[in-house]
Amino acid sequence: MTTTPAPDPSAPEPSAPDHPASPSGEAGPPDSVPVLADDATGPPVRRFWAVRRIPAAILAAVVLGAAGLLLYDVAAVRADRSAMAWRRELADGLASRPLDSAAVVLGAVLAVVLGVWLLILAATPGLRAVLPMRRRHPDVRAGLDREAAALALRDRAMEVSGVQSVRVRVGRAKVGVRAVSHFRALDEVRTDVETALATGVDELGLAHPPALTVRVARPPRKG
């Protein structure tokens, strides 16, 4: 018969391992999410691309309808039926109308404008209201709405002494600020507003901080 010695109350408790054990039985570091430092060069930041569902849906519907109507008319002609009136009139008009007529030139201009518009939509990102922010993680992208940025900067400017009202307009490359000061010197107010908004723009975390333009004026006199 064997006896098990009782545990010593004064003995220290076994400490838990610093890292959880891996499936193979070996201890390993916990999973960590890589985060870039503030001064590190992260991945390139580009603008957000718009989905453009409405233009794509309209173009697809127009092309589908025109193609379906044309195929139906071609099939009807192949079945020894007469072509639709619109196709006969279109063929006769194209055969008899000169190329320098107003209707042909107008139609060509509209087709060119439509084609250029579609090319611009296909080649530009869109979403001009969303400003891309700095990337601290390679797999995470963030954007800030222009109206939200303008509201945050407006609140910053209203904290400056002497500012009565502020209008802030945020663009992709420029922030325009118009402030009204009812006391203090205008130069002092402008300097304080520029300092406060420069800090505010930096705290927004934008990938491409816009330039700042501040104008301060007195309120209009009441007649």
Look at strands 143-145 and 130-132 and give their pairing.
Answer: antiparallel
User: Rounded mean pLDDT of the chain?
Assistant: 79
Q: What is the pLDDT of residue 84?
A: 84
State the pLDDT confidence band at 200, using cuts at 50, 70 and 90: very high
Q: What is the pLDDT of residue 164?
A: 93
Please write down the HEC assignment for all residues of the chain. CCCCCCCCCCCCCCCCCCCCECCCCCECCCCCCCCCCCCCCCCCCCCCCCCCHHHHHHHHHHHHHHHHHHHHHHHHHHCCCCCCHHHHHHHHHHHHCCCCCHHHHHHHHHHHHHHHHHHHHHHCCCCCCEEEECCCCCCCCCEEEHHHHHHHHHHHHHCCCCEEEEEEEECCCEEEEEEEECCCCHHHHHHHHHHHHHHHHHHCCECCCCEEEEEEECCCCCC
State the pLDDT confidence band at 82, using cuts at 50, 70 and 90: confident
Q: What is the pTM of this model?
A: 0.57
Top mean pLDDT of 12-26, 55-69, 129-143 is at: 55-69
pLDDT at residue 34 tops 80:
no
pLDDT at residue 36 tops 70:
no
What burial class does residue 142 get, using C-beta atoms within 10 Å of its C-beta: 0-12 exposed, 13-18 middle, 19+ buried?
A: middle
pLDDT tens by residue, 113-160: 988 988 887 777 777 788 888 887 777 778 889 999 999 999 999 999
pLDDT at residue 173 tops 80:
yes
Q: What is the pLDDT of residue 223?
A: 60
Which has the closest alpha carbon to 204: 168, 160, 161, 165? Answer: 168
Q: What is the pLDDT of residue 23?
A: 45
Dihedral of alpha carbons 21, 22, 25, 28, sign: negative
The DSSP bridge partners found for residue 144 are 131
What burial class does residue 184 get, using C-beta atoms within 10 Å of its C-beta: 0-12 exposed, 13-18 middle, 19+ buried?
A: middle
Q: What is the pLDDT of residue 19?
A: 45
Please tell me which residue, 22 or 198, carries the higher pLDDT value: 198
pLDDT tens by residue, 85-120: 887 887 787 788 787 888 888 989 999 998 898 888
Q: Which residue has the tokens 């006199």?
A: 221
State the pLDDT confidence band at 8, using cuts at 50, 70 and 90: low
The average pLDDT across 24-47 equals 52
pLDDT at residue 48 tops 70:
yes
Look at strands 143-145 and 163-170 and give their pairing.
Answer: unpaired
- Asked if 31 contacts 19 with a C-beta cutoff of 8 angstroms, the reply is no
